[in-house]
Structure 1
């Protein structure tokens, strides 16, 4: 019996939710497709019908994590009309969301290892760095920041925040470290302020 588009969508959605939970709790290397299938009440063949292999399933989960974080960053950034506050709100939102236990392993530990650096960087640029670059470009266009290269600034800030998230997740004092990183980010960014 053929499934409707809505049924197929619901199956994929459920499968991604279950897979995300497994990848979060166990890590990519310790997850078996059969475990996910059993919980989703699907055969291995049914899973492979929607996703080419385990890596393909992980890629879809990874992309969902990227989308969720990007949406959170956008929502938090827009809580202010001030462009500087938008930038800082967005940075804090990224640090907070990316360091949450249900995100950081998939995003910054297994993501680069499983997908390889080229795919990881392409996805990071598509979701995280695009909105960061747009904000920096907008601020530059309004004369709020001075830099010879928006691209360079974007890559440097993005890399610094990814590394900071890895550091933050190693500590039980997550909130305190997020605050420390934000103080550092504010000092760094102040060097680009067009006064």
Structure 2
């Protein structure tokens, strides 16, 4: 077997650090996870962490990006099973909100992420979701399913509603009781965009 290239070795190091950090952040939270927690499990040094991510916050950003991407993929997979594009849009937002009950998602993405990385709507992973929502909204407008509205405005408000509902659920002392209220309100708000609300 030929020796690994520098790029392959760096990629493996990054993957190990992200996996170790994801485990530590889920168990202890970002603040309580020590640099040793983040490197020892991966069998690496602090130097490897600094070289690949700059600092602990940079590593958190990488973990959040990975998890946010997984959340988006899961939501899109559910949406693809829906009966039509409008039902898919609702399903995608709903499953995103439901993921706030996942302990790992709740702690890392929805609690520590905003606390230490700032406004989630500015994260690159969220911008990728926004682009997909814009495409869906555009198709629904062309099909005459939605009221005439600016595509980007509608997409940003749809994504924002799902994200803020998930943040509310995650921050709640009673997330399981808050979840159905959040989903019901999300459906009511989103259905206001339908040309005929009775189709929701």
Q: TM-score, normalised by structure 2?
A: 0.83
TM superposition shift of 1:141: 1.6
* Structure 1 SS opposite 2:41: helix
TM superposition shift of 1:81: 4.2
Paired with 2:148 and 2:113, the residues of 1 have a C-alpha distance of 31
TM superposition shift of 1:30: 1.6
Note if contact 1:66-1:128 (Cα within 8 Å) is conserved in structure 2. Answer: no
Paired with 2:103 and 2:42, the residues of 1 have a C-alpha distance of 23
Q: Match of 1:66?
A: 68
Q: Match of 1:20?
A: 22
Note if contact 1:99-1:166 (Cα within 8 Å) is conserved in structure 2. Answer: no
Paired with 2:121 and 2:153, the residues of 1 have a C-alpha distance of 18
Paired with 1:122 and 1:47, the residues of 2 have a C-alpha distance of 21
Paired with 1:129 and 1:150, the residues of 2 have a C-alpha distance of 11
Please list, as runs of the form range in 1=range in 2, the aligned pairs for 1:1-195 lying within 5 A after superposition: 3-4=4-5, 5-117=7-119, 121-123=122-124, 125-169=126-170, 170-172=172-174, 174=176, 177-195=178-196
Please tell me the root mean square deviation across aligned C-alpha atoms, in Å.
Answer: 2.3
Paired with 2:24 and 2:121, the residues of 1 have a C-alpha distance of 20
Give ranges in structure 2 of 5+ residues lacking alignment.
none
TM superposition shift of 1:146: 0.8
Note if contact 1:145-1:192 (Cα within 8 Å) is conserved in structure 2. Answer: yes
* Structure 1 SS opposite 2:105: helix
Give ranges in structure 1 of 5+ residues lacking alignment.
none
* Structure 2 SS opposite 1:182: helix
